[in-house]
Amino acid sequence: MIRPMLGAVSAAVMGMATQGLAQNVETGGELFQHYCATCHGIDATGYGPMAGVLVVQPTDLTKLTGADGEFPVARVVARIDGQDPLVSHGSPMPVYGPFFKGQDATLKTPAGQPILTSQPIVDLVAFLKTLQGG
């Protein structure tokens, strides 16, 4: 009796965790323009209007994919959500980090490792992936 119940609970939990896999590139683009373009630029190359006053210059987000052809999902998520903070002008990047909390969602690394994050970050990652190769 316990095993079937545990199986049903596990299936339900896995179902909830995978619900956040839906990525919305359009929403990610809108979030980027609203929250990221000020530093990273409209074209995401690192030349936004605030770049000149930052101690650490913004990354060219069109060149995140490595020589191996893999987009660094875990590193990008950690930078956006503040787990891997970057102090660029007296405060950690991202300035809007609290906005990206809540709305639990998951996405997977190229190796298949799930990452628990938020839906806005899932959408931003989807958008950033479309910029690669520029």
Given pLDDT bands bounded at 50, 70 and 90, which one contains residue 34?
A: very high
Q: What is the CATH number of the domain that holds 81?
A: 1.10.760
Answer whether residue 100 is part of any domain: yes
CA angle 125-30-67, nearest 5°?
A: 30
> How far is Cα 20 from Cα 23, in angstroms, rounded to an integer?
8
Domain count, the chain: 1
Q: What is the pLDDT of residues 70-93, one digit of tens each?
A: 999 999 999 888 887 777 656 666
The whole-model pTM stands at: 0.78
Residues of the domain holding 83: 24-130
Residue 93 phi, psi dihedral angles, 5° rounding:
-90, 135
Q: What is the pLDDT of residues 5-16, one digit of tens each?
A: 444 444 444 444
Answer whether residue 2 is part of any domain: no
